């Protein structure tokens, strides 16, 4: 899922994101499934979590803010959220080939 979101939202121009968009999506999903803090309190939610262990990405608490998450949601919508969700669903139901 993170790779699909990164591909759909990342720009080939400009500087890379501090936190990849796919990781931001996962951070929001983990929060919703566990304790569901609102976006403006996501930093508080992750204060006692091993962020790097969960997302395999070095992320400081200072990087987690509602501006970054809101910007991600705006970009996700502008990129065609239904199309992105469809691609994620198609990948999820595609059988895994065994070797």
For 2, 74, 86, 90, the CA distances from 80, given in Å and listed in that order, are 16, 10, 10, 16
pTM as predicted: 0.83
* C-alpha 3: how far from chain center: 10
Domain chopping of the chain, boundaries:
2-93
Residue 36 exposed, middle or buried by CB count within 10 Å (0-12, 13-18, 19+):
exposed
Integer Cα distance of 53 and 58 in angstroms: 9
pLDDT in tens, 46-72: 999 999 999 999 999 999 999 999 999
Tell whether the model's pLDDT for residue 15 goes beyond 80: no
Mean pLDDT calculated for residue range 81-93: 90
Convert 39-60 to b/e letters by CB count within 10 Å (16 or more is b).
Answer: beebbebbeeeebeeebebebe
């Amino acid at each position: 899922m993170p790779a699909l979101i990164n591909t759909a939202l990342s720009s080939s121009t400009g500087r890379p994101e501090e936190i990849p968009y796919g990781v931001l999506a996962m951070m929001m999903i983990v929060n919703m499934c566990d304790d569901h803090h609102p976006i403006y309190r996501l930093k508080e939610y992750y204060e006692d979590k091993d962020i790097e262990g969960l997302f395999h990405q070095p992320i400081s608490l200072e990087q987690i803010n509602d501006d970054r998450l809101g910007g991600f949601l705006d970009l996700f919508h502008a990129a065609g959220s239904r199309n992105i969700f469809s691609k994620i669903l198609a990948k999820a139901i595609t059988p895994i080939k065994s070797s």
